[in-house]
Amino acid sequence: MAYTKKTKKTRRQVDSAIVHVKSSFNNTLVSVTTLEGDVLLRCSSGRLGFKGSRKGTPYAGSQIGVQLSKEMSVFGVKNLEVNLQGPGAGRDAVVRSLQAQGLNILALRDVTPLPHNGCRAPKKRRV
């Protein structure tokens, strides 16, 4: 088999990105994607070493924002759109920490799914 020279991996230069924050009562998950939807980075409070009920706290959310902003600087990301989903406490803390790290937030969207009438209710109980 002939030797083929490997092509050097190039770092992507991305100016704008979308940050998807899914925050439940128990955990906070954050992923950073390009405008087309390709995932660049992701992080969660469990990955940072938080365990149990501490994963859903605002402090864990702020630490996620600090970690991701350091990793985003490699890609050259300066402008962000943020999609927030879920009722958890860490969602606002992520946004605040991203802003404190000097990133420009262009849009904040709440994309929490809401039922328009939901599932059919169970039948009435007869006693």
- pLDDT tens per residue across span 90-115: 999 999 999 999 999 999 999 999 98
pLDDT score for 73:
92
Interatomic CA distance for residues 111 and 6, integer angstroms: 42
pLDDT score for 6:
80
9 falls in which pLDDT band (50, 70, 90)? Answer: confident
pLDDT score for 48:
95
- The answer to whether the beta carbons of residues 61 and 94 sit under 8 Å apart is yes
Sequence spans of domains, the chain: 16-110
**The two three-digit tokens of residue 113, written as one number:** 């799914």
Residue 58 scores a pLDDT above 80? yes
pLDDT score for 8:
75
Give the mean pLDDT of the chain: 93
Q: Which residues share a beta bridge with 107? A: 81
| 16-110: CATH, from 3.40.640.10, 3.30.420.130, 3.90.1660.10, 3.30.420.80 | 3.30.420.80
11 falls in which pLDDT band (50, 70, 90)? Answer: confident
pLDDT score for 10:
74
